[in-house]
Amino acid sequence: MAIDMAVGTPTIEQFREQARAWLRQNAPARTAVRDEHDVSVFHNLDHDAELEVLRELREWQRLKFDAGYAALSWPTELHGAGLPTEYADAFKEEETAAVAPTRHELFSVTVNLIAPTVRIYGSDELRSLLLPGLLDGSLLACQLFSEPGAGSDLANISTRAVREGDEWVVNGQKVWTSGAQFADWGQAIVRTEAGSKRNRGLTTLMVPMDAPGVEVRQIRQMSGGTSFNEVFLTDVRVPDAYRMGDVGDGWGVTRATLGFERANASNKAGVGGSFEQLVDLARRTRSLSHRDVRLALADVRMREIAAEIALRRDKRARDAGEAPGAAGSMRKLQWVAKLNRVSDLARTLLADRAVADLGEPGTFSWNAHVLGAPGYRIAGGTDQIQRSIVAERHLNLPPEPKVAESRSWKERP
Ligand SMILES: Cc1cc2nc3c(=O)[nH]c(=O)nc-3n(C[C@H](O)[C@H](O)[C@H](O)COP(=O)(O)OP(=O)(O)OC[C@H]3O[C@@H](n4cnc5c(N)ncnc54)[C@H](O)[C@@H]3O)c2cc1C
């Protein structure tokens, strides 16, 4: 049964009951689920297997969308259910308990980062064009932010867009674009004012990834997968109707997307090896009774519990209408530290079996956690950048000196 609003808004308990019943009937029997020994942080699948994961996620999203569960806290006129955010949180909990955690970075970027940005900054026309598809799983969108010369220092981007009539002509290169090879759209930050300085003169465009002049080249990672790409943009024509926010306001739009990213980063069920899988590994390597191993396991579990408490605290603040501030950065740092503690212990337990595949299930596979975990120290803003955010915005320490602030991006080293 989908959400029953016949007698007004259900109480949260009634809603949970309805959601559980719906999930019992509709939760998919997955074929592309992770096997019990999959502890990967990023997909290390071939192209077809990755497409199959996306197909299953799209189908599941479509089912949720049709039943009203896809955008519970969004307003009804924007395809949502108009319920308070605690209902969306409750559904997420029930869904996590009922559905095997198949995941894909591009899916999460589409639904959790780009859809809410389009909701805030898209024109009515752009919202009608994109929001139904971004919410029901039929359209996938990637983030075209980083460039070879602009990562942490994103304000240094040099991809240019020049206005010609009702269109923008875009030229430049983006890099590390997660999922670009499967994306229908890309949210691009481009420089629209020649000679502008730092974060001024930037604009956000939604670029159709099949437009002439868009070329996607996959990057092979040390873990074996190809999660991200280089994207070359050569004379790509983008209608002005696909612009988000005002001309020159691209920085504000991008910061909003990055804010959604940080708030989501600490909330990724099913990324990497779990505490339970780590305990299992300790048991199988006959190390569970070792004092240092037990202490390290306790440390991982404590970090998980601390992260759950922090998430609940920040959700309460959000529901009370408080701005997120540096909370997302703090939670991302906490989560990344936990991922890396899991790596440390897995490496210690496996010793040489971590580097040579001896055919024993659940051993060498930890490589996909150990080699993938450092990626999240970088993705969505590096650890150092998150620390600067916490220092400046939470602890009110003096800001980092902006030495090159007065120079245009072209003059900067
Ligand atoms: C898994 C993954 C997925 C990604 N997905 C995407 C995506 O979909 N779209 C996209 O646009 N980008 C994506 N990125 C790119 C990511 O946003 C950048 O890699 C990141 O912002 C860092 O930029 P950089 O690689 O240029 O490193 P740099 O900015 O060159 O940093 C190099 C080192 O210097 C440090 N450093 C830099 N500036 C400072 C400072 N001011 N203070 C202290 N230390 C500093 C950094 O912390 C880092 O250790 C992804 C990256 C990863 C790893």
What separation in Å is there between the alpha carbon of 311 and the centre of ligand 1?
24
> What is the whole-number distance in angstroms between the Cα of residue 97 and the centre of ligand 1?
33
Domain that holds residue 158: 142-248
| Domain count within the chain | 3
Q: Same domain for 285 and 239? A: no
Task: Please say whether the beta carbons of 373 and 403 come within 8 A.
Answer: no
Ligand 1: does its nearest atom lie under 6 Å from the Cβ of 152? yes
Whether residue 400 has pLDDT greater than 90:
no
Hey, how many other C-beta atoms are within 10 angstroms of the C-beta on 412?
A: 17
**Average pLDDT of every residue of the chain:** 89
Residue 95 lies in a domain: yes
What pLDDT, on the 0 to 100 scale, is given for residue 97? 86
Residue pair 167/238 in contact (Cβ under 8 Å)? The answer is yes
Question: Among the options 50, 56, 94, 261, which is catalytic?
Answer: 261
Does a structural domain hold residue 134?
no
For ligand 1, the distance from its centroid to the CA atom of residue 150, given in whole angstroms, is 8
Amino acid at 177: T
Structure tokens at 178: 């997660």
**Domain membership flag for residue 118:** no
Does ligand 1 lie within 6 Å of residue 178's CB atom? yes
Q: Is residue 406 over pLDDT 60?
A: no
Quote the CA–CA distance of 340 and 348 in Å, as a whole number.
12
For tokens 């959000």, the residue is 318
**CATH number reported for the structural domain that contains residue 94 in this entry:** 1.10.540
- For the domain that residue 203 is a member of, what is the CATH number? 2.40.110.10
Q: Which of 141, 126, 117 is CA-nearest to residue 54?
A: 141
3-state secondary structure at position 31 = coil
- Check if 230 is active-site: no
SS (H, E, C) 276-332: HHHHHHHHHCCCCCCHHHHHHHHHHHHHHHHHHHHHHHHHHHHHCCCCCCCHHHHHH
Domain shared by 176 and 78, yes or no: no
Tell whether 129 is covered by a domain.
no
Distance, CA of 186 to CA of 158 (rounded, Å): 17
Could you tell me if residue 335 is inside a domain? yes
- 264 confidence band (pLDDT: 50, 70, 90): confident
Same domain, 310 and 384: yes
Whether 25 and 63 map to the same domain: the answer is yes
Does the residue 351 lie in any domain? Answer: yes
Whether 409 has a pLDDT exceeding 60, the answer reads no
Name which residue sits closest to atom 9 of ligand 1, judged by CA.
Answer: 177
pLDDT exceeds 60 at position 32: no
Phi, psi of 136 (to 5 degrees): -100, 5
- List all residues 6 or more positions away from 39 whose beta carbon is below 8 Å from its beta carbon: 272, 273, 274, 277, 346, 365, 366, 368, 369
Asked if pLDDT for residue 239 goes beyond 60, the answer is yes
Strand partners, 239: 167
Closest atom of ligand 1 to CA, residue 109: 8
The response to whether residue 373 sits with its C-beta less than 6 Å from ligand 1 reads: no
Residues 193 and 232 in one domain: yes
322: domain CATH number is 1.20.140.10
Give yes or no: residues 244 and 279 share one domain: no
Assess whether the C-beta atom of 228 lies below 6 angstroms from ligand 1. yes
Each residue's pLDDT tens digit, 82-100: 999 899 989 998 998 888 7
CA 378–ligand 1 middle distance (angstroms): 5
Residues 6+ apart with CB under 8 A from 86: 12, 315, 319
d(CA 72, CA 367): 38
Q: Is residue 251 in contact with ligand 1, taking CB distance under 6 Å?
A: no
Identify whether residues 378 and 271 lie together within a single domain.
yes
Q: Which atom of ligand 1 is nearest to the CA of 384?
A: 47
pLDDT category of residue 195 using cuts at 50, 70 and 90? confident
Spatial separation of the C-alpha atoms in residues 329 and 258, rounded to whole Å: 10
**Among 176, 229, 336, 412, which residue has the most ligand 1 atoms within 8 Å of its CB, making it the best to mutate?**
176
User: Looking at the domain assignment, is residue 121 inside a domain?
Assistant: no
> Quick one: 304 and 187 in the same domain?
no
Per-residue pLDDT, averaged over 251-269, amounts to 81
